[in-house]
Amino acid sequence: MPLFWRIFQLNAVVLVAATALLLGPVTVSTPVLLTEAAVLTVGLAAMLVANALLLRVGLAPLKRLARAMATTDLLRPGARPAVGGHGEGAELIATFNTMLDRLEAERATSAARALTAQEDERHRIAQELHDEIGQTLTAVLLDLKRVAKQAPEPVRGHLYDVQETTRASLDEIRRIARRLRPGVLEELGLTSALNSLTTEFTSSSLSVRRQVASDLPSLGDNTELVLYRVAQESLTNTARHAGATRVDLTLEHTPDAVELRVRDNGRGIDGTTEGSGIQGMRERALLIGASLTLGPTPDGGTQVRLTVPTRHRSQ
């Protein structure tokens, strides 16, 4: 039972008992006069209504606090419940707001450490794929080419097939390494990296159209990496799960913000549970103080929007 009704019932028991006493042994008239009973009944009803209103006003801060506690999500920072009233209720709301501030700061710090470690690990794996496995497969290709020239005709055809399979595997490993470590982002910048990314996802079944502003403001390495990773994850989700035939990637800017939008014409995300990929995008957005929204499009697809404030940005 809610706290409001528990307190109201306790007060009602006291008031009803007091009224009963007035109508019984404490009454000034015996027998009870009809006018006295009417006055006491009306008075009791008035006191109960006043009690309910006062309790509703007094417990309103706690109700706001309970609603805020039920809807708080550290991946979606929102407004804090207003500190109203006096006494323990206001103190409790202020303490809750302070706790949220501390939790969000601690989560942002831990997310930054985790994402930095993740990027370092991706860099290491990509380097090993390129230096170790890539070079090994390149040597295998050269050996196959030499052996195929010396092999008899029936065997030569099989060796050529193995050579093509090995070459395809080498290309796939290089593609994976590029996704793990976007070297084009470090060398040529965000615009070239997004152009390369959309070209990589374009296929016979998926058309990726891009519109990237050429006069983007200076964003910093961390911000550019977050924008690239969100675009990469959005395109990956579209290619794997959306069943879309068209994706539009747009990167625009205003005097105060840079906005990335990835919009597809797939089946949408209504009713689906957010996976680790979307949660990772939200954590990356929090890392640079950006806001991330996902929602349906008018034609039933999905739109991912990342808005990065640029005013006074230092990283």
Q: What is the pLDDT of residues 156-166, one digit of tens each?
A: 778 888 888 88
Contacts 24+ apart (CB under 8 A), 101-108: 103/74, 104/74, 104/77, 104/286, 107/74, 107/286, 108/286, 108/287
Q: Hunting for tokens 């419940």 — which residue is that?
A: 81
* Mean per-residue pLDDT over the chain, rounded: 77
Q: Give CA 7 to chain center in angstroms.
A: 39
Cα angle 268, 270, 276; round to 5: 85
Contacts of 265 (CB under 8 A, 6+ apart): 244, 245, 246, 297, 299, 300, 301
pLDDT tier, 89 (very low <50, low <70, confident <90, very high otherwise): low
Mean pLDDT of 293-312: 82
Query: Which residues does 123 contact at the CB level (< 8 Å), separation at least 6?
Result: 180, 181
Q: What is the mean pLDDT of residues 43-58?
A: 76
Q: Which listed CATH number (1.10.3720.10, 3.40.50.2020, 3.30.565.10, 3.40.50.2000) goes with 183-315?
A: 3.30.565.10
- Domain residue ranges in the chain: 3-105, 183-315
Q: Beta-strand (E) ranges in 202-279? A: 207-212, 246-253, 257-264
pLDDT-based confidence at residue 86 (cuts at 50, 70, 90): low
pLDDT in tens, 262-274: 988 887 776 666 6
The pLDDT value recorded for residue 271 is: 61
Residue 311: pLDDT band by 50, 70, 90 thresholds?
Answer: low
At 222, the pLDDT band (50, 70, 90 cuts) reads: confident
Confidence of residue 75 (pLDDT cuts 50, 70, 90): low
